[in-house]
Chain A
Amino acid sequence: AIQMTQSPSSLSASVGDRVTITCRASQGIRNDLGWYQQKPGKAPKLLIYAASSLQSGVPSRFSGSGSGTDFTLTISSLQPEDFATYYCLQDYNYPHTFGQGTKLEIK
């Protein structure tokens, strides 16, 4: 199975900060990667698909980049509602695998 390694596992930041989360695949996955936001007690929410495409209705402060093995999720200016846990997910092959998550906390 492809391993997805996210970093950092946790991150403290302030409102207005620019934040970057990375995800590295153990083998090339083209651009078959999505980013998901999960708030406590809630289901994950799709933010980015195909590594860099913004899902409809998601604020433009979220962006994704990368291809092959290295991917990034960037939040350009943190808002209070962005404090959550973020996961990457590869759907290049089976089994689909998630990163271990990055918990974004308020500094």
Chain B
Amino acid sequence: QVQLQESGPGLVKPSGTLSLTCAVSGGSISSSNWWSWVRQPPGKGLEWIGEIYHSGSTNYNPSLKSRVTISVDKSKNQFSLKLSSVTAADTAVYYCARRNTGFGESNAFDIWGQGTMVTVSS
């Protein structure tokens, strides 16, 4: 079955760029699904960051849009997140997830990576 695995630095300096990658295994990133990033600050709730389709189409949360770039690498079956100009407020566990569009007329985030903690600190 499809599995997702996040990777990237666990520590980023303030004003720097956070870069994470999500590797997709057990299935193709070119399937009819959207590939998403969600984050969770320590002790807080979940926030949707954005998503990408294998064609390269993206949707972003307006609250982060000016700082976020999500890209896809079909040759490596993975997608990536870049968040620029980070501050301590960006410290969080970052999850990648699949938004499955195959639930009839509905869709849902049915597969999640284990999450990776990113701390913004000097």
Contact = CB atoms under 8 A, between A and B. Distances in A.
Give the size category of A's interface with B: 20 to 34
Nearest to B111: A46
A83 interface: no
Interface stretch (B11-19, B58-66, B83-91): B58-66
Interface string B39-50: 000000111100
Contacts of B115: 43
Given A43-B114, A94-B59, A49 B106 contact: yes
A31 B106 contact: yes
A32 B48 contact: no
Interface in B71-122: 95, 97, 99, 103-110, 112-115
Contact of A91 (B45, B60, B62, B108): B108
Contacts, number: 64
The secondary-structure label for the interface of chain A is: loop
Given A36-B109, A43-B112, A91-B108, A49 B47 contact: no
Nearest to A99: B45
Given A50-B108, A55-B110, A91-B99, A44 B62 contact: no
Interface residues of B, number: 25
Contacts of B95: 43-44
Contacts of B47: 98
Interface string A64-106: 0000000000000000000000010101001111111100000
Contact of B61 (A36, A38, A89, A95): A95
Contacts of B99: 91
Interface string A8-52: 000000000000000000000001101010100011111001100
